[in-house]
Amino acid sequence: MDRNQTYKGKHVLVVGLAKSGFAAAKLLTSYGAHVVVNDRTPLEENPQAQSLVAEGFDVVCGEHPLSLLNTSLDYVVKNPGIPYSNPLIAEAVKRDIPVITEVEIAGEVAEAETIAITGSNGKTTTTTLIGEMMKDSGRTPIVAGNIGTVLSEVADASTKDDLLIAELSSFQLMGTIHYAPKIAVLLNIFEAHLDYHGTLDEYAKAKGRIFANQKSTDFAVYNADDEKVVSLVKGTQGVKVPFSTTQDCPTGGCIKDGVLYFKGEKVISEREIVLPGKHNKENILAAVCAALLGGAKKEQIVAVLTSFTGVKHRLQFVEMIAGRKFYNDSKATNILATQAAISAFEQEIILLAGGLDRGNEFDELIPQLKSVKTLILFGESAPKLARAAKDAGVPTIMMAHDVAEAVPLAYEASNEGDIILLSPACASWDQYKTFEQRGDIFISAVHKLK
């Protein structure tokens, strides 16, 4: 279908503004859709809604009235963060009105091909790596999605000379119907966002949407070491391209005898790669597979892997003060990410952790906590983390009000040669708007120590 005709004349309710809803409303209108916008924040406190009203949009603010569904709607476009338990969304589903996210719109309007990346951990690092690797490939890489830039907005502006590289969350993918990236990457599945999805199976099913509509001319890049990922890729029509850090993958990527291979050909020696952490080997393998499938030059891939040291808030080296190295891993919003961060170091670790209590315990973190000499906790989940730390035999457990208070406590408890690591194992929303804000406060507190 002509991308300019997909939404022409359709009646669409956009629920939830923020960046994605605001962009979706304007984009759909530009394609001839009849759009009504609904946001929970009252109009007088809502600059985005005010801007849309000034442009002539029909905007309803302050609540999510079910009466908005009493018209002939073709779609509800939902902000990814709004759960399906929301009464308006639940009623739309009950009435069989398609509920989509702006990622679905992106797939309809984009002229560029897409490499899409999802997984419980490592998405941003892998997405960033692919973006860097695709430079000088003959197509212009455009990095977007969950990484910060609204995907549908850049998709609309894309051409066949571009390549969209999209980081996608389970929230975004759950709201897709026909979305089909040329190259889909699934890194791993770990218990996360159960407050949103309800069960691990539902969460995994949402992640698996990345493969659902692929054709035989598409590629499905997947982690052959993750059983849940392997089960999700089975149904795809795309060409399966596995990667593994533990087994030979002649049709994909692997590491053998200290060398990274793709389809049996050497790409780079492990010792030349500068990105730290065992967990990053999987991210690197996934990125190499996707980039080479996308037409990247091997020379560019090698150049990236010999210079790329990481992404902000993802095991980011911040500073060395009096022999102590400070690392910001604020993006570690679940247990698996913190397990990987702790395992990346051989030195003594002072760990700063805590945040939103999502109802889970932290028993799975106990093996890694055994190598932590001091744990400084903050946020709602602090008591649960403290219980796990006691079971792990962590010598010193301290409480802080927040990250800013935790940093000087960590410094006082440390010795020369120690690693001071912010890796919360929890979301930030109990105290901070985003994990980025939490990480920035950590960085600021470290700099104040100087």
Which residues are part of a known binding site for ATP?
119-125
**Contact partners, residue 293, CB within 8 Å, separation at least 6:** 183, 219, 221, 241
Residue type, 122: G
Q: Which residue has the tokens 């919003």?
A: 333
CA pair distance 378, 183, nearest whole angstrom: 40
Annotated binding-site members: 119-125
Q: How many CA atoms lie less than 13 Å away from 204 in the CB half-sphere?
A: 15
Closest CA to 25 of 40, 10, 35: 35
**CA angle in degrees (0–180, nearest 5) for 95-99-104:** 150
Give the 3-state DSSP-derived string for 322-367, with helices as H, strands as E and coil as C.
CCEEEEECCCCCCHHHHHHHHHCCCCCEEEEECCCCCCCCCHHHHH
CA distances from 17 to 22, 52, 158 (A): 5, 10, 23
Q: Specify burial of residue 449 (Cβ count, 10 A radius: 0-12, 13-18, 19+).
A: middle
